[in-house]
Amino acid sequence: AYGGDNAIRSLRVRTPITTRLLTYTHRVAVGVVGRGALGADHGIGVAGRAARAVSMFDQRGCVSPHVLYVEEGGKVEPAEWARVLWNALADLEVELPVGQLRSGEASAVHQMRGMAEVREASGAGTRDFYETPGFATVIFEPELDFTVSCLSRVVYVKPIRNWEVVPEVLDGVKQHLQTVALEGLGPRRKTLAEMLGQMGVTRITSFEKAPWPPPWWHHDGSSVLAGMVRWIDLEGEGD
């Protein structure tokens, strides 16, 4: 069963104790862009890959990034790269048009844009990038706490001074954090992956692979098929 925490909790209560219930609760994904990816091409390459990860399934999958944490100190600073990302998202709307949105979903996008504009006008350092009638939206925000997107290709870009702050920043969402895409970290990638794994993250990948976990992946840390198999042990030689 797939669903939000409340839906899964309701199913568990109604499921007989003798019935095995396989559940997958609410999960989210983020991305981390190291300064190594913001070099000679000014982050255009990684922006294209990140944009595709965001656009695929219109962020409705647990593998779809809500927030991208971008390391300072590259040839392109995070606020500048946010515009590069938006350009990539806008270009993808031609190749991969946004799916049909219900009125409430479209309204949520407009509300999130409006809130970002208010914060930008207040001098909070927020910047937002979008064009109507498109839905692709990038919100650059200095506040580092994880922010849940309203989906439909609305993604946050947040600056970090270095990769070491990532586990602390994500601590508040660790119970629901599943997939983290890492790029531009070089040899630091393994160290950060270990730190994320200790937090409970079960999938660490790249932007290119983020939307497409392999069939044999360990969904939420467990084999996808193992829970569906009931083993029978026949012991001894018999007569």
Both tokens of 137, joined, read 């939206």
Instruction: Convert the pLDDT of each residue in 204-221 to its tens digit.
Output: 999 999 999 998 888 888
Distance, CA of 160 to CA of 33 (rounded, Å): 10
| Strand, helix or coil for residue 170 | coil
pLDDT tens-digit readout, 45-91: 999 999 999 999 999 989 999 999 999 999 999 999 999 999 999 99
Residue 160 to residue 73: CA distance in whole angstroms: 10
Phi and psi angles of residue 205, each rounded to the nearest 5 degrees, phi first: -145, -160
The rounded percent of the chain whose pLDDT value lies above 90 is: 76
**Token pair for residue 119?**
């914060």
* Predicted TM-score (pTM) of this structure: 0.90
Residue 176 lies in a domain: yes
Tokens at 113, concatenated: 């844009």
Whether residue 36 lies inside any domain: the answer is yes
> Above 90 in pLDDT, residue 104?
yes
Residue 24 pLDDT > 80: no
Q: Tell whether 234 is covered by a domain.
A: no
Give the CATH number for residue 191.
3.40.309.10
Q: Is residue 125 part of a domain?
A: yes
Q: How many domains does the chain have?
A: 1
Domain assignment present for 159: yes
| Segment 29-50 mean pLDDT | 96
Instruction: Return the structure tokens found at 209.
Output: 């692979």
Q: Is residue 161 part of a domain?
A: yes
Tell me what pLDDT residue 87 has.
97
State the sign of the Cα–Cα–Cα–Cα dihedral 224, 227, 232, 235: positive
Whether 231 is in a domain gets the answer no
Domain that holds residue 102: 28-213
- Separation between Cα atoms, residue 196 and residue 178, nearest integer Å: 10
95 in a domain, yes or no?
Answer: yes
Whether residue 139 has pLDDT greater than 70? yes
